[in-house]
Amino acid sequence: MVSTYNGEGHTVSRVCVEVKIGYNLHMSTDYDPNYIPHKTFFLIGQKAVIFNARGQMLLLLRSQKAGYAGKWSLTGGALEENEEPKEGIEREIAEETQLTVRGLKPFTSFLYKNNDGDSLVIIGYTCTCDDPHVVINWEHDAYKWVSKDEALALNLGEHARKLIEQLA
């Protein structure tokens, strides 16, 4: 279980971890006396769909120095050890864009297996920023503010595409 924030400063013990992994999370020995629990480890990745005042979302072009070079992506990255999810995504946003955001809310999550065979739970957030001036770090070569349709027409990374497609 992962703690997150509901946008009003209150900790909530859920994170949309309704990830369908082919396993009933409520199974216990009450239902299956032969069940033997085992530890399962997942890396936690987080991505933010950041909207400006015009309703456009921020996309970042991955540099040759970073993974997924040449693909458009959303701001985000891995949750660090002992880091709360809200702190982690806010850190990633600040590191990659120097933006201050508000209204940060999780809207989806999904399971992903990377090329190394690691299992990741990706948590998608939405938020807004008042000042659309972006300062990118070494991971990115460019940025742009686009509509959902414009974003889906670009060469998106797999995580970004899946998250953007799930937006209402």
pLDDT for 115? 81
> Where do the domains of the chain lie, and which CATH numbers do they carry?
4-165 (3.90.79.10)
pLDDT, one tens digit per residue, over 119-136 is 999 999 999 999 889 999
- pTM equals 0.77
User: Residue 102: which of 124, 139, 131 has the closest Cα?
Assistant: 131
pLDDT per residue as tens digits for the range 77-99: 999 999 999 999 999 999 999 99
- CA–CA dist 58, 151 (Å, integer): 9
